[in-house]
Structure 1
Amino acid sequence: MNKFQLDNKFKKIGYIISIGTFIFMIIRKFIENSDEIKPVLHGVLLLGLLLVSLSKDKFEDEFLDSLRSQSYRIAFILVIIYSLIQPIINYTVGIILNQDEEMKAFGYFQILFFMLIVQLMVFWQLKKMNN
């Protein structure tokens, strides 16, 4: 895993990219709702989150490496379970509320975004619990 990690300075760059893109997405929603720029913003947001996820902490050791590996495994499993169950829940709720609901799968952005967010939150929580 250490071979794929980036230097700590990339974490700050990732935060700037992610927060800036998120703010731009919100502003764009109110000003102009063009669908051409949406995939680009999604890609940039995922890139920023990936930079944060792959960047080392200031003091990286084997224990943090182990916690990081655990967080990737947990995120992977939770996102698979979520992506299998959530469409069924949406469909069932739609039927209960008498709406014409179709079984819809998630797009790549939703799955990757959720996986990166879950990985980061699990990693932060594991670090917090073990300090």
Structure 2
Amino acid sequence: MSQQSFCEKERKNLEKLNKFQLGNQFKKIGVIIAIGSFILMIARKYFEDSEWIRPLLHGLLLIGLLIISVSKEKIEDEYVDSLRSQSYRLAFIMAIVYSLVQPLINYAVAVLFNQDDNLKGFSYFQVLFFMLIVQLLFFWQLKRMNK
């Protein structure tokens, strides 16, 4: 296999991955998964020894939000694709800012209230949840403003 054909094949695979989207019907499935896992996260608080299910519910919530995020709109054209790209870019930037600023805010609040708190980070779930929520909100807002 020549180097040219290998590079061409890789480029085509990347293009396929870049264009990947689920059908519009998956948006409803994602909403059901996200809302269901959120409700179960609240219900989990009322059961003892349920800490083991927390990572599972976090994962389900993230999967539901991701399904919503990568599902097509009813009318999916180049303009909607452009809005989607903008929302991903904004969500990525906001997640980085959030990741850098949030530990400092937590530390400042702890100092302000005389709590003995070290400068702490946060979990992957918080960052991914924030990123997906921000992407969806920006996408919906951009779509609504540009109708």
1:15-42 Cα deviation digits (max 9, x unpaired): 0000011111111112335221110111
Distance 2:48 2:40 in 1: 11
Report what 2:13 is aligned to: none
Q: 1:88 aligns with which of 72, 80, 104?
A: 104
Q: Which has the higher contact order (CA 8 A, sep 6+)?
A: 1
Q: Which residue of 1 aligns with 2:63?
A: 47
| Counterpart residue number, 1:56 | 72
Give 1:19's aligned amino acid.
I
SS of the aligned residue for 1:82 comes to helix
Q: Is 2:134 the counterpart of 1:118? A: yes
C-alpha separation in 2, matches of 1:83 and 1:45: 20
Residues 38-68 of structure 1 deviation map (CA, whole Å, 9 limit, x = unaligned): 1011101100000000000000000000000
1:23 alignment partner, one of 18, 35, 39: 39
Structure 2: gaps spanning 5 or more residues: 1-16
Residues of 2 paired with 1:2 and 1:57: CA distance? 17
Q: TM-score, normalised by structure 2?
A: 0.86
SS in structure 1 of the partner of residue 95 of structure 2? helix
* 5+ long unaligned stretches in structure 1: none
Structure possessing the higher radius of gyration over alpha carbons: 2
Counterpart of 1:99, as a letter, is Q
Aligned CA-pair RMSD: 1.2
Alpha-carbon distance in 1 for matches of 2:40, 2:127: 21
Runs ≥4 residues deviating over 6 A: none
Identity of aligned residues (%): 66
- Give SS of 1:37's match: helix
Residue 104 of structure 1 aligns to which amino acid in structure 2? K
The residue aligned with 1:5 is 21
Take 2:44 and 2:52, find their aligned partners in 1: how far apart are those partners? 12
The alignment covers a number of residue pairs equal to: 131
Following TM superposition, by how much is the alpha carbon of 1:2 offset from its aligned partner in structure 2, in angstroms?
A: 6.2
